[in-house]
Structure 1
């Protein structure tokens, strides 16, 4: 069955609202968001307004849909400027599940760490390979904040160390830490669904026996670690700074992300009283703050 695809160019301020309108008012069967580099946006941060740069919106319709009517409805919504940029294409029938899967490729972080979807061949069998599929919770490695944390973990000597993944999401950082040599990793998250995802992914990677998972209210008292990583958001990193610093043992290391470049210095200042802060690292407007206690 053929389809019609309408691609609109939007901004970070109106993309989500336009997507909702296309679904609710024009009868779009699906809506996909693409970033400025034509890469599908798979990882909106949990609980945060999506911060895209230039964003393309791709809406899929039945081949019998009246495109003139759809474009008139979009115009009438007043969400886009008059003469808005758009493109209408006819698509042949495809195996859409396979098409979606094609967007995910093995990704390398640092010198030896790979994150690989289960349906792809492992590029370097002798490297450190984490098998992780997009699914239940935030974190598959495609977002800059996840990439920054993975690269930092890969740069450390984790042999025999205890690591805390504060806000563990899918478990990607926790599992990577184990595969990189950590003796024990503790994942903490406020979302029970994230703990389920972390547990399932750890089992797929054969490291479940080295991963302990807790809701904050259930974590052991006096919990400390050699290495702490927190890929969450700027607000919680500020609000929970005393708690996060308390998880790092003296001489231990901390890395934080989920922070925009405009927020990084302010967040870092909440940690300077107990931490020696490294130069802040930026990737696509997102930052990693790291340091030693």
Structure 2
């Protein structure tokens, strides 16, 4: 079935209003996109991340009355002659299949490969993580995930316990287990992430060494030799007391999900408890690592 897409070019101040309007008009989904194609990353609960120039995109079933849709848009108190919008028909595609066809095996560091579960393993002798992210975040395609995977590949994880804070698909925890870690703990705020991590752990035959917790249910006195958190700069700063306490004395910390221009503020938050390494940068994203005092 084809779809009808309505795209409104507006500002961050007005985007929420237009989002509400499109939802009320019957849109099956509403998304925000930077006018200059800057990607959106997962916000905190109750938080919406927008830009100065924002496209609000509503997706409708093909039988929507587009004339009525335009009239509704023009009835908005924010509608002006300068407001730009576009209505177009999208071709019918199997979007899940399209995404799967473009997710290829990827190598990180010297030993590690991330392989979609539906594709053949390119190197049977490598450390292969078979991944199906499902509805959770984390495939290895984003520079921040790549930075974390490369860091883990370069560590001696033998007999180590690792915590993946904000585990998403479980990609980092499972990679650590396949790289020799004794045990891993995945923590997330989203039950769907824990389910995706659980499924991927079973797919990789490491479920007996992976424990999963919602953030609100973390056990007391939980400690790890290595803690990795690939989330966002704001949450990393806010969660510093909760993340730092999870790292053993002389344990290692790896943080990502941070833009290069945000690195100084994140370093400042963790500097009191960690001897930090030089910041590693990849495509304007960065990774912060260090050892706990």
Same-fold status (TM-score > 0.5): yes
Short-chain TM bin: 0.7 to 0.9
Counterpart contact for 1:35–1:56, Cα < 8 Å: yes
> Which consecutive unaligned segments of at least 5 residues does structure 2 have?
none
Q: 1:136 to 1:28 in 2, by over 3 A?
A: closer
CA distance in 2, matches of 1:173, 1:216: 17
Query: Superposed, which structure 2 residues align to 1:67-216 within 5 Å?
Result: 67-77=66-76, 82-99=81-98, 101-102=100-101, 104-215=103-214
Counterpart contact for 2:10–2:55, Cα < 8 Å: yes
Does 2:222 correspond to 1:246? no
CA distance in 2, matches of 1:23, 1:265: 39
Counterpart contact for 1:46–1:138, Cα < 8 Å: no
Query: How far 1:247 sits from its partner (Å)?
Result: 2.8
Query: How far 1:222 sits from its partner (Å)?
Result: 4.5
Q: 1:200 to 1:14 in 2, by over 3 A?
A: farther
- 2:265 — aligned with what? 266
Report how many aligned residue pairs link the two structures. 291
Counterpart contact for 1:33–1:40, Cα < 8 Å: no
- 2:278 — aligned with what? 279
- 1:5 — aligned with what? 5
Query: How far 1:11 sits from its partner (Å)?
Result: 5.2
- 1:22 — aligned with what? 22
TM-score under structure 1 length normalisation: 0.77
Q: Secondary structure at the match of 1:270?
A: helix
Query: Superposed, which structure 2 residues align to 1:29-44 within 5 Å?
Result: 29-33=28-32, 44=42
- 1:288 — aligned with what? 287
Instruction: For residues 164-223 of structure 1, give each alpha carbon's deviation from its aligned partner in whole angstroms, at most 9, with x where no partner exists.
Output: 222323322101111222222222345555433322221122111221234567656544
Counterpart contact for 2:29–2:58, Cα < 8 Å: yes
CA distance in 1, matches of 2:177, 2:128: 11
Q: 1:31 to 1:216 in 2, by over 3 A?
A: closer
Q: Secondary structure at the match of 1:148?
A: helix
Q: 1:223 to 1:61 in 2, by over 3 A?
A: closer
Q: 1:103 to 1:29 in 2, by over 3 A?
A: farther
